[in-house]
Amino acid sequence: MISASWTWRADEMWLNIKGNPKYLYALLDDETRFWIAKEVAGDKMSHEAADYASELFRQGKEVADGKPHVLITDGLKAYHIAYNREFHSQRLPHTHHVRHATWSKGKEDNLKMEAFNGTVRAREKTMRCLKREDSPILDGYQIFHNYIRPHMALGGETPSDLVGITVEGENKWLTLIQNATQETKKHQ
């Protein structure tokens, strides 16, 4: 289980993939900034956008082994449709959906997501666009964000440190690759 706060934030950002506009939907844990799930979509305004947001939330439930107590999003209709599909229920506890997070600082702002989007944007900009929707660059950046990059807002720790996943060694990339290789060999 990776969620420390059980408050999640979702947002989408525009990406240039092989010269075409796409959207990266991302789901973060509020307290730890752990990047829980991601989904790349063709747009954000069609009914299909709700399918992408639903898949994002399904991935989040699987990774975190549960659903959040609070979900914070902007006013994009696709998030509310996906919330109703994936999190709304008559059984307790309910997931509270804060639907209109704003840019202005306050309890219901979405500044953490906008800061996250800025770090992804900086990486994408240096690459001058991604070549395909299923680019391993996004997976690699998710690993970098969660396990390797110290975050100033987290006191120099990584999101994985805050959720209790410690990566030992001087070269964390190498450690992660070695651990993944060992797991792969176990399952063969």
Can you give the CATH number for the domain in which 81 is found? 3.30.420.10
Rounded CA gap, 176 and 48, in Å?
35
Q: Tell me if 74 is assigned to some domain.
A: yes
Q: How far is CA 8 from CA 37, 51, 112, 184, in A?
A: 11, 18, 11, 30
Q: Tell me if 129 is assigned to some domain.
A: yes
Res. 104: pLDDT tops 60: no
Q: Tell me if 179 is assigned to some domain.
A: no
- pLDDT 10s digits, 58-76: 999 999 999 999 999 998 9
- pLDDT 10s digits, 21-47: 889 999 999 999 999 999 998 877 877
Q: Quick one: DSSP state of residue 95?
A: P
More confident residue, 135 or 80: 80
| pLDDT for the residue 110 | 76
Which of 33, 29, 44 has its CA nearest to residue 118? 33
Q: Tell me if 188 is assigned to some domain.
A: no
| pLDDT for the residue 44 | 79
Q: Tell me if 58 is assigned to some domain.
A: yes
pTM of the model: 0.85
Query: Tokens 């752990």 correspond to what residue?
Result: 34
Average per-residue pLDDT for the chain? 85
Q: Give residue 122's domain range.
A: 7-133
Q: Tell me if 144 is assigned to some domain.
A: no
Band (pLDDT 50/70/90 cuts) for residue 108 is: low
Total domains in the fold of the chain: 1
Which of 178, 125, 174, 123 has its CA nearest to residue 148? 174
Band (pLDDT 50/70/90 cuts) for residue 133 is: confident
Band (pLDDT 50/70/90 cuts) for residue 127 is: low
